[in-house]
Amino acid sequence: MARSGNTTASGYGYEHQQLRKALLAEAYGQACVHCKLVMLPGQKLDLDHTADRTGYRGMAHASCNRSDGARRGNAKRRRSSTLKTSESW
């Protein structure tokens, strides 16, 4: 999803931030929803949401979550890009 200028429009508004904050303290020692490795104090964590942003999957390592988002975004861009021919100019 392209950045639109504010956190709420991007799906990371006040409610998301408050939920992340509430879950963060209990996330350490639990398994990351992506890699299943234990999340340790000092590691950066994200609150992962579903691809359509209608719900949450749980806490994840920031690197795992962002890699997953980049992978999905890149795949979407590959599917939507088409080769332009001289006829379509």
Query: 10 with 1: CB under 8 angstroms?
Result: yes
Higher-pLDDT residue of 10 and 25 is: 25
Higher-pLDDT residue of 44 and 8 is: 44
- Residue 82 reports pLDDT greater than 70: no
Rounded Cα distance between 26 and 16, Å, is: 16
Quick one: 74 exposed, middle or buried, by C-beta within 10 A (0-12, 13-18, 19+)?
Answer: exposed
Query: 59 with 47: CB under 8 angstroms?
Result: yes
pLDDT tens for residues 49-66? Answer: 888 888 899 999 999 998
Instruction: State whether residue 79 is helix, strand or coil.
Output: helix
Rounded Cα distance between 33 and 24, Å, is: 14
